[in-house]
Amino acid sequence: MKLTYIYHSCFAIESEDFTILIDFFKDTEGDFNSGYVNQQLLTRNNRLYVLSSHSHHDHFSKKILKWRETRLDIIYILSKDILLCHKAKADDAYFIDKFEIFEDDLLKITAFGSTDIGVSLLIEIDGKRIFHAGDLNNWHWKEESTPEEVESAEHYFLSELCDISTRISHLDVAMFPIDKRLGKDYMRGAEQFLSAIKTDLFAPMHFGKYFESAAAIKPFAESKGGKIVEWTKKGESVEI
């Protein structure tokens, strides 16, 4: 099984039997139609799952639903907020909300909460537990917010993290935001996540062009007994 970084918070998980595409809105070549997803993944002869954690434009595009016009077997599993804001119809997908589960003969997906709209996602497949945070993070913006706003953000994130960590003690892979725009404490949410849940392989996301800043979580992850993926480009893959 391998994990491929597409762009922003989009990843592909691939094996001989399946492909899972998460939070796609832009391919590796910089637009919707060109790159690794279009040239490699959509034409693979195996089961294809397409997941979206929420309706923000940088995590979901309605264009993904048009893929079914040429590939009828796609299984769409989307956050329920996508349905509620009318970006998809009820018969377009399976819709999932916090603590709800999608399960078939290959995988199990459990939705957890977020500190933004939508959900975070736990994927259990081939004996692996793989977590995609969506927009779950400690969005504190300390250098711009009031102390009360920072405290509120901290409480919100730790509450959602508690919901997850009381149900999950170990992850094989976690995809989680490392967003430099937060300022000097931009890794705080990731550090709290890694402190709460033992994670074997940590894959940064939501970092834009700041690959080196995303990789700065490495010493902390290693101090917790894990490794990180030091992404250097779009379309890069690692074995999991």
| Ordered structural domains, the chain, with CATH | 2-239 (3.60.15.10)
Dump strand ranges (E) for 74-141.
Answer: 75-79, 94-96, 101-103, 107-112, 120-125, 128-132
CA 25 vs. chain centroid, Å, equals 13
- The DSSP output letter for 60 is -
Tell me the per-residue pLDDT of 50-95, one tens digit each, with 9 for 90 and over: 999 999 999 999 999 999 999 999 999 999 999 999 999 999 999 9
**pLDDT(142) > 80:** no
Structure-token pair, residue 200: 């074997």
pTM, rounded to two decimals: 0.97
The model's pLDDT over 198-231, given as tens digits with 9 standing for 90+, comes to 999 999 999 999 999 999 999 999 999 999 999 9
Cα torsion for 63, 64, 66, 70, to the nearest 10°? 140
Q: Is the model's pLDDT at 141 over the cut of 80?
A: no
Map residue 164 onto helix, strand or coil: helix
Q: What is the mean pLDDT of the segment spanning 24-31?
A: 96
Distance CA 200, CA 185 (A): 23
